[in-house]
Amino acid sequence: FVALQRRDRPQVETALGALARLHTRGHTVDWAALFTGTTATVTDLPTYPFQHQNYWLDSISPGARSTGGPGLTATGHPLLKTAVGLADGKGAVLTGRLALHTHPWLADHRVGGTVTLPSAAMTELAVRAGDETGCPGIADLTVGTPLTVPESGGVQVQASVGPADADGHRRITISSRPDRDDPGAPWQVHATGLLTEAAPAPMVSLGTWPPPGAAPAGLDGFYRRLDEKGCTHGPAFQGLRALWQRGEELFAEVELPDGTDPDAFGIHPALLDAALHPLLAAGQDTAGLSWHGFHLHAVGPRSLRVWIRPRGEDAFRLWLADETGEPVAEARALRRPVTPARRLDGAADGSLFHLVWSPVGLPDPEDLTATRWAVLRDTPPDGLGHRVENVADAAGDVLVALLGTAAGDDAADAAHRSTVRALELVQEALAAGTSRLVLVTENAVATHDGEDVDPGSAPVWGLVRSAQVENPGRIMLIDTDGSPASAGQLSAALASGHDQLALRAGRASTPRLAGARPAGVAGAEPEPGDAVPVPAPEGTVLVTGGTGALGALFARHLVTAHGVRHLLLLSRRGP
């Protein structure tokens, strides 16, 4: 009994062995008296042949790790059970142990017959580690080598979070190693990324369901077909219940099976994995997707409404909502991995890019949530929101500020005034705790060739883009053409979730990078709309940052590879 209390395995085995020998020699052992005062109960032996499994629970086996101890904190998370803050206060390490007898639902996700942790589980680990360090958002998370779980025994998991950089971001590394008595066993890195602060919930509602214009898609035999391809999804991971399609957009309902408890998770990995199944149903490959701009706005959901929208050739945007349409989570980009073949293809064509404005859809007015718009202007647009006199009056609201220049203003003076005003608004809104600042300009950007640009408003976009990078999710830019049709779409633009948007005749577009074909490459004749970045030798090439190391290398390349003879190298501080 004393040995049991101390969890001293050798002494317990010795004591039980001695009692067993007494029993086999005809002596009567009073087992009930032996275990009086303990939680021991009588258990029937199995009626089937004995399996070769350990009798002792892992909680008292030498290879197990306690959740208590000096400096260790129990997290209450099913996958990362303990956390320890680093002595210098600049990071933390969270640890856990995965095994099929402690997490039996993991056995329902197999690739090629091997139990594999889905990338959605890596996302959950990163969010939980971020909670511990004040950075629960994921700026980016790249999943590399899959994390496999053995059929017997377990695997140790570690999420290591580094110190905050100048922007408040923290590096995260997720690793594992076999759970055995070998402190020198190497760790295998499975995911790396960058954590960031929490972002406000997106101004998108999925309250109208199914979405207008979405056509149902059949799911008969979906999981059976995945199984035939070697990607087995057992009952715990068969969460896709319904699927709709509208053009290239996908809408779905996913749900955890009965008996699965989501409460201890931010979002259960099986549920988040099911939110990606619409892509599989549409023939897309989700293996190795990297997560960018992932933010969790509600915890412990049992079911989700899913909206997936393509974002360029190799990326998707993901919105998750509860059964009422309220935001649960979002991923601003899910990107496919770049294969070696594609990297070589990119190198062959020069890997050059140029900016294009791509059309995007706007939310239906009936789907817009009742968001409080606060408009900072003497005369707010009709129906857009309530008027406020200063930034402080809009604390907690979405603040909309319209920046414009008067006809006849000197371009240089107007540019100075608009950028100074934009900077003041950004600083005041961030300091006042405004949920989001939306700056609306007019004709500040050109969305197509030949479009006139207001030089008094254009610098605002250059300034605010830098502020957006430093404050993700807090600032939005909208440029209009001043037409009544565009004014009528302003509310939908505000709720679109895009960081940068242009409205032209009521139609919306957003800036994206597109591949540009360089001149002089065989088989790469430029087509209409393609950029030709290298000018004729008699032209002058302007290189910003041209006196730095990279600028100098690029300048030399222009001369030696493309015959450029006139260069203008600019720098803020250099010679």
Residue-wise pLDDT for 82-95, tens only, equals 999 988 878 999 99
Identify the pLDDT of residue 137: 95
For tokens 């222009």, the residue is 558
Q: Return the percentage of the chain with pLDDT > 90, whole number.
A: 46
In this model, does residue 444 exceed pLDDT 70? yes
* pLDDT at 44 > cutoff 90: no
3-state secondary structure of 402: strand
Query: Are 127 and 297 spatial neighbours (Cβ–Cβ below 8 Å)?
Result: no
Residue 522's pLDDT is 37
Give me the percent of the chain exceeding a pLDDT of 70.
83
Residues 212-231: tens digit of each pLDDT: 999 999 999 999 999 998 89
The per-residue pLDDT for 523 is: 38
Reference 75, options 137, 157, 131, 154; nearest CA is 131
Q: What does DSSP say about strands 240-246 and 215-216: parallel, antiparallel, or unpaired?
A: antiparallel
Residues with Cβ within 8 Å of residue 9, at least 6 apart in sequence: 56, 60, 61, 62
By CB atoms closer than 10 A (0-12, 13-18, 19+), residue 88 is exposed
Average pLDDT of the chain is 83
CB 508 within 8 A of CB 486: no
CB 254 within 8 A of CB 271: yes
More confident residue, 375 or 467: 467
Across 253-264, average pLDDT: 93
Task: Decide if pLDDT at 245 tops 60.
Answer: yes
- In this model, does residue 268 exceed pLDDT 70? yes
pLDDT of 71 strictly over 90: no
Q: What is the pLDDT of residue 392?
A: 79
User: pLDDT by residue (tens digit) across 310-367?
Assistant: 987 778 999 999 999 999 999 999 987 654 444 434 334 444 667 889 888 888 766 5
Q: Which residues pair with 301 in a beta bridge?
A: none
Pick the residue with more confidence: 522 or 23? 23
More confident residue, 342 or 6: 6
**Which pLDDT does position 382 carry in this prediction?**
56
Burial 114-143 (b: 16+ CB within 10 A, else e): ebbbbbbbbbbbbbbbbbbbebbbbbbbbb
* pLDDT band at residue 235 under the 50/70/90 scheme: very high
Per-residue pLDDT band at 182 (split at 50, 70, 90) = confident
Confidence label for 534 from pLDDT (cuts 50, 70 and 90): low
Q: Mean of the pLDDT values across residues 115-121?
A: 94
Q: Can you tell me the distance from the alpha carbon of 100 to that of 119, in angstroms, rounded to the nearest whole number?
A: 18
pLDDT (tens digit, 9 = 90+) per residue, 414-427?
Answer: 999 999 999 999 99
Which has more confidence, 410 or 60?
A: 410
Spatial distance between the Cα atoms of 484 and 487, rounded to a whole number of angstroms? 5
Q: Tell me what pLDDT residue 161 has.
A: 96
- Residues paired with residue 161 on neighbouring β-strands, in sequence order: 92, 172
* Rounded average pLDDT over 541-556: 86
Return the higher-pLDDT residue of 341 and 302: 302
The whole-number pLDDT of residue 549 equals: 80
Q: Give me the amino acid identity at 44.
A: D
Task: Give the span between the Cα atoms of 222 and 434, in whole angstroms.
Answer: 45
- Under 8 Å between Cβ of 441 and 478: yes
**Average pLDDT estimate for 33-50:** 72
Q: Which residue has the tokens 């001695």?
A: 18
Query: Could you tell me where the beta strands, DSSP code E, fall in 322-466?
Result: 327-335, 352-360, 373-376, 386-387, 398-402, 436-442
CA–centroid distance for 512 within its chain:
19
What tokens does 492 get? Answer: 């939908």
Confidence of residue 396 (pLDDT cuts 50, 70, 90): confident
Q: Residue 548 has what pLDDT?
A: 81
What mean pLDDT comes out for the span 273-288?
90
Work out whether the CA dihedral 375, 377, 378, 381 comes out positive or negative: negative
Dist. CA 564–CA 552, nearest whole Å: 14
